[in-house]
Amino acid sequence: MKLSQSLLKNILESAIFASPSPLSVEELLSLFADEEKPTRQQIQTLIKELQNDYATRPLEVVEVASGYRFQVRAKFSPWISKMWQDKPPKLSRAMLETLAIIAYRQPVTRAEIEAIRGVVVSTQIIKALFDRDWIVVVGHREVPGRPALLATTREFLDAFSLKGLADLPPLAALRDLDTIEAELATTNRVEKE
């Protein structure tokens, strides 16, 4: 069944809005089932139309290397930027915990972080930490798979106003990790969800 032009345009618009990263024409095509799939040409025409529709709006559809995305027009930046000025970007709990474990346990593999946190560490988190230059790969653990060993960087220390790793508050102040692990080992039992 062919979709109407207006439905098609609405789908493209929603998809570009919903995607966390820019969408290419290929990716847009992949949203449609075979029988409803538009042509590349159609998609490009509709995106042009969208760009016109948004000409008078505070957002614009821009094309970047990896595809199309919506962006707030530069003229609003004096107000929008206040959102980032007043408060530092909020780091997610999962990210902070991952970072804390790397800081205290470095060098450490992803699997080890997961063992401590008890949940899978998402690739996004690791990537975000790399993106901020807060962590680096310092080697590989010599076990099957040679997993990367992660450690924190000087940029990490700067971001958290630390002079050196020695400035990290001793974990003992919280409670010694090893003691806890020992306790855990003894109370360790199989549990299933």
Partner 1 sequence: MTELVIDTPDDVLLDSQQALARVYDEFITQVPEDLYIPPDALAVFLEAFEGPLDLLLYLIRKQNLDILDIPIAEITRQYISYIELMQELNIDLAAEYLLMAALLAEIKSRLLLPKPKNPEAEEEDPRAELIRRLQEYERFKKAAEDLGDLPQEGRDIFLTHVEPPVRELLATEPFVGDFSLLLEAMRDVLQRAQLQKSHIIAEEGLSLEQRFREVLARLASGETVIFYELFTVKEGRIGVVVTFMAILELLKQKMIELVQESVFAPIYVREYRELA
Q: Assess 20 for contact with partner 1 (CB under 8 A).
A: yes
Q: Assess 138 for contact with a second copy (CB under 8 A).
A: no
**Backbone phi, psi, residue 73, to 5°:** -65, 145
Query: Which position among 4, 39, 41, 123 is part of the footprint of a second copy (CB under 8 A)?
Result: 123
Left if phi > 0, otherwise alpha if psi is -120 to 50, otherwise beta: which for 103? Answer: alpha
Distance CA 117, CA 90 (A): 20
| Residues between 6 and 35 that touch a second copy (CB under 8 A) | 10-11, 13-15, 17-19, 21, 23, 27, 30-32
Distance CA 113, CA 151 (A): 12
What residues pair up with 64 in beta bridges, in sequence order?
67
Q: Assess 180 for contact with partner 1 (CB under 8 A).
A: yes
Query: Smaller CB distance to partner 1: residue 39 or 188?
Result: 188
- Residue 83 CB, shortest distance to a second copy, in Å, is 6
Distance CA 20, CA 124 (A): 12
HSE of 49, CA atoms in CB hemisphere, 13 A: 13
Q: Which of 94, 96, 58, 52 is nearest to 79 (CA)?
A: 58
- Residue 36 CB, shortest distance to partner 1, in Å, is 18
Length of the chain: 193
31 contact choice in a second copy, partner 1, none (CB below 5 to 8 Å, kind-dependent): a second copy
Q: Assess 3 for contact with partner 1 (CB under 8 A).
A: no
| Residues between 90 and 149 that touch partner 1 (CB under 8 A) | 91, 93-94, 96-97, 99-101, 103-104, 106-107, 110, 112, 115-120, 122-123, 126-127, 130, 132, 137-139, 147-148
Q: Assess 167 for contact with partner 1 (CB under 8 A).
A: yes
Contact set with a second copy (CB under 8 A): 10-11, 13-15, 17-19, 21, 23, 27, 30-32, 57-59, 70, 72-73, 76, 79-80, 82-83, 86, 90, 92-94, 117-120, 122-125, 127-128, 130-131, 133, 191-193
